[in-house]
Structure 1
């Protein structure tokens, strides 16, 4: 296995890179409380979506909201871990980096909730 001068990991096949990605997702699901919360809420939303037989366009928005939330939470977790790796001491820039990443997750979570309300409110009213 050859090594890129900028990357300390051995180069892997494309299948190996998927393996790394899945390993990262599993680590986050096992260790991060917020990822567990997102997973639980996502399952509920998917079940409710199925129950109400939402339209294909509504499914698209729901899946984008769920996928985006998981992706952004993974990025947030990665930023937090890298900051923790770089410095164990308090530093205002480290705090800002963590707070900004958490803020991005919060913005997307509020947007996802708004999408959910917009989609499900008419179904709930009819119910």
Structure 2
């Protein structure tokens, strides 16, 4: 659901640029330094990832820009980054489900796990 919403929002921002005949930044355009902000934050010792204001400050130069094309392209970059992170999270959850399924089949508890019959026997006490 989140991925579909982000994809719809992405199309809206691309349409915004197209309708105004503004250029869409390419993945490797020099105009797209916003793509590196996340990595720079991760490396900075003073960055607090739990502080939403710190995230805003990092992107404010682009998101508060007077040129709507820069704001739109920045938002497109952030949507791509969010989609990438969602894809990584989904893949990790799929691997976990697959691993748990194999573990349950190996231990002979596959049928009871998740049915409520032997919840205490399931990995994680489910």
Q: With structure 1 as the length reference, what TM-score do the two structures score?
A: 0.33
User: Looking at CA atoms only, which structure, 1 or 2, has the larger radius of gyration?
Assistant: 2
Structure with greater helix percent: 1
Q: With structure 2 as the length reference, what TM-score do the two structures score?
A: 0.33
